[in-house]
Structure 1
Amino acid sequence: MRKKIVAGNWKMNKTAEEAVALTSEIVHMIADEVTSDVEVVLCVPSLYLSTLQQYATGRVSIGAQNIHQKASGAYTGEISAPMVKSLNIPYVILGHSERRQYFGETDEILAEKVNIALENGLKPIFCCGESLEQRQNEDYIALVQAQLTNALFHLSAEQFGQLVIAYEPIWAIGTGLTASAQQAQDMHAALRSHIASKYGAEVADNTTIQYGGSVSAANAAELFSSPDVDGGLVGGASLKSRDFVNIVKAI
């Protein structure tokens, strides 16, 4: 049975003091209130990785939001996979639409990032998704499937098995709009089928595919009830402990 994972993406939010308080609240609330075997990941600003890793438990992991595609070098302000590995951080988000849009990350760059993450024992949460314009004017399912093909399908089946896929319709990120449960299920099923066409049914069936895009405590249960939706990558709602834990409980 594939793993259920709910991850919070804090983006560029929280001071150091606020980050410690939020992490502590979530860890204690998960321990007290959540009895399922869902895994929780908090993807926090890189500045706080070392501090917050001390709060990690068997139920809550700390993750990075990005890494550079090179192991080291003259890349001022960047962090590398070996740096993240040295802190015993297990997860890293790669390919978020904001990285693609604001920082020009291409499928080719993301393939390099995936490679170096895996080489260092990190588990990528690989993001894919389409814009509203693309959804309205193009074969958006084929477009999102191509993001997997271009950045991931050079991997072996064993390597691919280390990945988490996060489908995030760009038109639903931070907008308050959310894909319906059926829209999410349709895309997740299409992505799982695409994975199966390359790696076979067993790998596809074992791949965790999260939904991301204005996930809230109000819509999480309906989204998570879809058979191919295996959790969520949560943005704004992950910045409030009660809202985030209620989303975790919904799965």
Structure 2
Amino acid sequence: MTEPAGRRPLIAGNWKMNGLKREALALADALLAGAGGAGGRGELLVCPPATLLALVGERLKGSAIHLGAQDCHPKPSGAHTGDIAAPMLADLGCRFVIVGHSERRADHGESDALVKAKAEAARAARLIPILCVGETLAVRDRGDALAVVAAQLAASLPAGADGETLVVAYEPVWAIGTGRTPTTADIGAMHQALRAELKRHMGTEAERTRILYGGSVKGSNAAEILAVPGVDGALVGGASLKADEFLAIAQASR
């Protein structure tokens, strides 16, 4: 099967606020041992917490598994205690950074404008932002999911983005960590709507931009989700902390 417009699937693991040094190295080693036999077409990416980036990055160095971060500040440096700038992440060997994750938007009150600024900061540092958008259960239940998420994407898109320097991730907020997933028809409809919104802003580059699905993806449902037209990979939460589960998802990407 040929990827549309050359879009190679991306399987990204978001470790969130989990892992100490010993656990992280054990997980990295297990992924390294199994990645060669995963057999999928997709690229593999892990996004550990900031405390583990250097350690995991050193372990993955020279492998086919990419390193990414979970957030960045919109400024390249300055008096911002506790924050991490995109150039610092690039300096550690990161290639990607997640911006606008629903947990950041909810827990830290991040607006679309802030997410856009972070995505632009990532691109300026030659990182690829994984721009997250998604709806709450209340929005879904009132029938506004497609319109709300498309508007969220439009307001969060970094200026000048193209298919090589942007990844979009659709994460239904109500499905993250709950074990619930939308139907494949719902997933397909949302990815189609997001692609249409990208075309409005990016023209032909929209066809080269990967759109991932994120929301309780696991080994048992990955093949069905990844087979949905327009789904170019997965942003994986809890299942990315288990090497066998994450590798099973990678296997399903072929």
TM-score (structure 2 length as normaliser): 0.94
Paired position in structure 2 for 1:49:
53
State whether structure 2 residue 239 is matched by structure 1 residue 244.
Answer: no
**Structure 1 residue 189 and structure 2 residue 195: aligned?**
no
**Cα deviation, residue 58, structure 1:** 4.5
Q: Which runs of 4+ in 1 moved over 4 A?
A: none
Match of 1:171 in 2: 174
**Number of residue pairs aligned between Structure 1 and Structure 2:** 247
Q: 1:138 offset after TM fit, Å?
A: 4.7
The residue aligned with 1:127 is: 132
Matches within 5 A, 1:97-112: 97-112=102-117
Q: Show structure 1 runs of 5+ residues with no match.
A: none
Partner secondary structure for residue 55 of structure 1: helix
Q: Residues of 2 paired with 1:131 and 1:157: CA distance?
A: 26
Task: Tell me, yes or no, if the aligned pair for 2:39 and 2:250 is still in contact at 8 Å.
Answer: no
Aligned to 1:211: 213
- Looking at structure 2, the residues matched to 197 and 73 of structure 1 have their Cα atoms a distance apart, in angstroms, of 35
- Report what 1:38 is aligned to: 42
Report what 1:88 is aligned to.
Answer: 93
Segments of structure 2 that go 5 or more residues without pairing to the other structure are 1-5
Quote how far apart the aligned CAs of 1:234 are.
0.4
Contact 2:31 2:247 in 1 (8 A): yes
**Alignment RMSD, CA only?**
1.3
Partner amino acid, structure 1, of 2:145: Y
Question: Aligned AA for 1:36?
Answer: G
Residue number in structure 1 paired with 2:3? none
Letter of the 1:156 counterpart:
G
**Aligned letter for 1:235?**
G
- The CA distance in 1 between the partners of 2:87 and 2:232, in whole Å, is 29
Return the alpha-carbon distance in structure 2 between the equivalents of residues 247 and 26 of structure 1: 12
Find the partner of 1:21 among 22, 26, 29: 26
TM-score, scaled relative to structure 1:
0.95
Deviations 1:176-220 (A, max 9, x none): 1011222111100110011112222x3121111100000011110
C-alpha displacement at 1:161, in angstroms? 3.9
2:82 is aligned, of 60, 64, 77, to: 77
Which secondary structure does the structure 1 equivalent of 2:178 belong to?
A: coil
CA deviations on 1:31-77 (whole Å, 9 max, x unpaired) are 2x123331000010011111111232442111100011111222221
In structure 2, the residue corresponding to 1:70 is in which secondary structure?
Answer: coil
Partners of 1:133 and 1:157 in 2: how far apart? 31
